[in-house]
Amino acid sequence: MIFPKISIITPTYNSGKYLEETIKSVISQNYPDLEYIIIDGGSTDNTLEIIKKYSDYISFWVSEPDSGMYDAINKGFQKSTGEIMAWLNSDDIYHRGALLCVGGIFNDLPGVDWIVGKSCLFNREGICVKMNDYQSWSKNRMLIGDYKWIQQENVFWRRSLWDTSGARMNTSFKLAGDFELWMRFFDYSILYAVQTSFAGFRLHGKQLSVIEPAKYENEVLDIIWEQKVHNLKIRFGKFLFSIVRRIDERKSSILLVIKVFIKLVLKKINNAPAAIYYDFKDSVWKK
């Protein structure tokens, strides 16, 4: 099998408490063509000590002031050369063998431009405590209002999609820059869900998106508002989704039956693709 080169960026700032485990989860992948880049924002804790400890396994690293996480990610991707791209925050963790799965998918399915694995949560100690079912995503689903949490650390994409979509993170956003990038990706390509998980989000309570969820949601709403949706199908979908949310607030068997029917209609409107799965018979990834 041909393994496409994968570039992973880790932005960090004073994240010494969890950074070492993040680094080890990347370099222990044993992926044959990995480019790992760390961009530090000028940390004053033990971050540099940890980076230097693993410098032999890091393709490039720098420690200098930046304008925030998305500025650091831009710096990293500008230095990168891989065909497949992703970033892993400095407190999150890849599952064992994740990059081999990712490389296999992009090798076996040349028509796939970006993918997302099942979302997973780690606790403070780095133990996987929750694995969610896979979710199918589309731009329609986002515009309807069912937009929360495409888990960023589980997303990988081809450089060709990155270049076509502007080749940058929008640094005007502080919390929802990933969401803005996904919306641009949707303009050019289909997002395929994969029936496995590549990584997990470490829930330790100090992430800005956790501390300030209202600010994250306001940024998301601003991004959606910029889309200026006039499509009647999307407007109808938004109306149906608002009904689903109201039903969720009440306890009624009849309403639950109505909810099932509405969700079937929303599934048609969302128009998301089928999931990617591993075919054990043929030993390849299929969609």
Q: Which two tokens stand for residue 201?
A: 């989000």
Q: Verify that 248 and 120 share a domain, yes or no.
A: no
Assigned domain for 139 exists = yes
Domain holding 178, by residue range, is 6-228+269-286
Per-residue pLDDT 10s for the chain (287 aa) are 789 999 999 999 999 999 999 999 999 999 999 999 999 999 999 999 999 999 999 999 999 999 999 999 999 999 999 999 999 999 999 999 999 999 999 999 999 999 999 999 999 888 899 998 888 999 999 888 887 679 999 999 999 999 999 999 999 999 999 999 999 999 999 999 999 999 999 886 666 666 667 888 888 888 887 776 667 888 888 888 888 888 877 767 777 888 888 889 988 888 899 999 999 999 999 99
Assigned domain for 1 exists = no
Q: Verify that 218 and 237 share a domain, yes or no.
A: no
CB 4 within 8 A of CB 34: no
Give the residue among 186, 253, 199 at the shortest CA–CA distance from 88: 199
Partner residues linked to 7 by β-bridges: 35, 85
> How many structural domains comprise the chain?
2
How far is residue 224 from each of residues 115, 143, 206, 238, 284, measured CA to CA in Å?
21, 6, 26, 12, 37
Q: Verify that 108 and 20 share a domain, yes or no.
A: yes
Q: Verify that 178 and 247 share a domain, yes or no.
A: no
Q: Which two tokens stand for residue 167?
A: 């080749």
CB 46 within 8 A of CB 88: no
Cα 63 from Cα 51, distance rounded (Å): 10
Largest separation between any pair of C-alpha atoms in the chain: 62
Assigned domain for 107 exists = yes
Partner residues linked to 34 by β-bridges: 6
Q: Verify that 151 and 241 share a domain, yes or no.
A: no
Cα 77 from Cα 75, distance rounded (Å): 6
Q: Verify that 114 and 144 share a domain, yes or no.
A: yes
Answer whether 0.85 is exceeded by the pTM: yes
Assigned domain for 69 exists = yes
Assigned domain for 263 exists = yes
